[in-house]
Structure 1
Amino acid sequence: MTYLYWSLLLVLCWAIVQSWRHQAKTLTVQPFKSFVHLLEWYLPYLFFPLLAIVLYAVYSYQLSVIVGVILGLFLVLCIYARFIEPKTLRVKYHRYDGLLNAQDKSKSIKMVVLSDLHIGLFSGHRKQLENIVQRINEIEVDMVLVIGDWTYEPYATLADELQIFKKIQAPIYSVLGNHDEQCPGPPVRELLQHGLTQANVIDVEGCIIEHEQFYLVGVGDLWAGKADMYLLPQCPDDKPYIIMAHNPDTVDLMPKLNSKVLMVSGHTHGGQVALPWITNFYLRQSSILGHREGWYQHEQAQLFVSVGTGMVGIPFRFLTPPTIDVIELI
């Protein structure tokens, strides 16, 4: 038992040292806050010696079996949420028949919706990005829509890390999210834009791009005060619209258009950790309108919300695995 306690102390010291070392490499304006977040990243390694201590205590009759099972199950779930589910990556397919005009339905459109990569403290590490790029290339899509929050207090090497997206074999369109716009977070927009340009990612914020079967529109982040749609009512109505907006509550600002509209968003992470009542309460802080994930019908637009692939706040995902969404317009 003494050895287990010593291992607990060693892991604790290691977590503190690692957190302090790595916060110094981040582009943060609040070093102590980054240090605390990184402690959240490294301290869960304590779950392993703690689980061993619980098992030993039950084995040596220092702890009842019932209490041991409860504590052990809690630690196993924490280990799963920290070390297993965040490293899984699912591809979720959707078919949507409510957008394209009848004369344009001869060819379906397959697009990837990718959101909340949060390259930085908890996610978006090289192995995960390589996995995302590989899975997208396996799908053979017409385009990739990245719906903001590329970062979460990233390292100074951000521009280099983004070069992996050059390997995607489809055009990539992007808008930024609140963490990219210092809401909250460090001022990374300039570095991020530089890296995205080098990676051949097309910034569509404030732009209307005409495709054969639809118009693609990029809208700035709501929390950053950039969700401006004043141009939309003046635009042609001969084709439907796909609108990229990081925050799903942006749909509340949609003007009435004569064309069909599909808005794609992220931001909510699906709650990131799915717990009864608690998750819905937390989501009210992210989406006043109560968006979580999936499809929502609003008066002016159909809305789709992706749970994304990254993490913020705490480095856990539970029953909301990192997801690449593929929407086929038919």
Structure 2
Amino acid sequence: MESIYLILSGIILLGVFFYWENNVIQTTRIKLERNLKSPIKIVHLSDIHSKEFGEGNHKLINKVVRLKPDLIIVTGDLINMDGKNINKMIGLLCSLNSIANVYYIFGNHEHRLRNLDKLAEDIKAIGVKLLCDEIDTININNNRISILGLDENQASRDDYIKRMKGIYEYKDYSNLFSKLESECSFKIVLSHYPENFSLIGDFSYKNYNFDLMMSGHAHGGQFRLPFIGGLYAPGQGVFPRYTAGLYKEDRNLIVSRGLGPSRFPLRLFNRPEIILVEVI
């Protein structure tokens, strides 16, 4: 009988642990020194994949409210490719946009939706800035901020195979980056794919002059191990280079671990994440 209680207790504890790992949001704080006129706070969300944190996503929204951001960035895969909860995710964007200006780019999952054009219209209708290979400029706390949102559309299985083989033809963004470089402002690049920061040769984004790139897609490497980090990320393979946090390699890259599940539904030592970037 005692052994049965021990087994049941172990099962319950394991269930609580996996619930915690997959449903309790962690806030990661990152400070970036860029000599701004006054500090700005940016909330970075990514890879929600249609997941709800409480009714109407109130747990997520309340956490963002408490952080008092000046700007909210969403770097793709808000909606899963099956279109689940699409209206609820648009409602989430609407709620976030009432807290601070929201800038949003599509990820690979949005590009697999059949009604992508309708989604884009609905997002723009609620006042969210959807950037598809374009630059927008905003003034925050006496700082001029230029945001380049990239729409790489590396979404199909064939794309992934070609990328892993090194034969994929990447978009040439040199003209857009040149335009961004000409801006007298704090420059942010939004790309769903962190590997494009430095792992695509001459097309790598860090070859250009900007202050910060923000990405998602890697899901923190899915399973994170002490002293090792993430185990696998799409587009990077096993033991990926960019999975979470701040990377300083000539330019600054911040990668969100994301909030929702990937095709594999479990996260390990890799809780859902909100990033608060404090730029000073």
Q: TM-score, normalised by structure 2?
A: 0.77
Structure 2 segments unaligned to the other structure (5+ residues): 160-169, 199-203
Which protein is richer in strand relative to its size? 2
Please name the residue that 1:8 is paired with. none
1:205 to 132, 155, 158: 132
Please name the residue that 1:218 is paired with. 149
Tell me which of the two structures has the higher relative contact order, counting C-alpha pairs closer than 8 angstroms and 6 or more residues apart.
Answer: 2
For the residue of structure 1 that corresponds to 2:144, the secondary structure is coil
Shift of 1:213: 2.8
Please name the residue that 1:324 is paired with. 274
- Write the distance in 2 (CA, Å) between the matches of 1:77 and 1:248: 35
Which protein is richer in helix relative to its size? 1
1:79 to 6, 15, 31: 15
Shift of 1:138: 1.8
Please name the residue that 2:219 is paired with. 269
- Write the distance in 2 (CA, Å) between the matches of 1:293 and 1:255: 17
Is the CA contact 1:222–1:247 (under 8 Å) kept in the aligned structure 2? no
Question: Quick one: structure 1 residues 130 and 165, their matched pair in 2 at CA, closer, same or farther if it must change by over 3 Å?
Answer: farther
Indicate yes or no: 2:61 matched with 1:133: yes
Shift of 1:112: 0.4
Letter of the aligned partner of 2:49 in structure 1?
A: H
Aligned-residue CA RMSD in angstroms?
A: 3.0
For the residue of structure 2 that corresponds to 1:214, the secondary structure is strand
For the residue of structure 2 that corresponds to 1:152, the secondary structure is coil
- Write the distance in 2 (CA, Å) between the matches of 1:81 and 1:278: 21
Indicate yes or no: 2:94 matched with 1:166: yes
Indicate yes or no: 2:248 matched with 1:248: no
Please name the residue that 1:22 is paired with. none
Please name the residue that 2:248 is paired with. 297
Is the CA contact 2:94–2:126 (under 8 Å) kept in the aligned structure 1? yes
Task: Deviation per CA, 1:261-295: give whole Å up to 9, x if none.
Answer: 21011111112332479974423x44256211111
Task: Deviation per CA, 1:129-173: give whole Å up to 9, x if none.
Answer: 221112112221111000001122445651354223322311100
- Write the distance in 2 (CA, Å) between the matches of 1:251 and 1:245: 9
2:42 to 111, 114, 121: 111
For the residue of structure 2 that corresponds to 1:190, the secondary structure is helix
For the residue of structure 2 that corresponds to 1:213, the secondary structure is strand
Is the CA contact 1:159–1:195 (under 8 Å) kept in the aligned structure 2? no
Shift of 1:243: 0.4
For the residue of structure 2 that corresponds to 1:304, the secondary structure is strand
- Write the distance in 2 (CA, Å) between the matches of 1:277 and 1:213: 39
Shift of 1:88: 0.7
Please name the residue that 2:164 is paired with. none
2:177 to 227, 232, 238: 232
- Write the distance in 2 (CA, Å) between the matches of 1:130 and 1:154: 23
Question: Quick one: structure 1 residues 280 and 108, their matched pair in 2 at CA, closer, same or farther if it must change by over 3 Å?
Answer: closer
- Write the distance in 1 (CA, Å) between the matches of 2:25 and 2:230: 23
Is the CA contact 1:248–1:287 (under 8 Å) kept in the aligned structure 2? no
- Write the distance in 2 (CA, Å) between the matches of 1:195 and 1:77: 43
1:287 to 232, 236, 252: 236
- Write the distance in 2 (CA, Å) between the matches of 1:317 and 1:80: 13
Please name the residue that 1:27 is paired with. none
State the structure with more CA Rg: 1
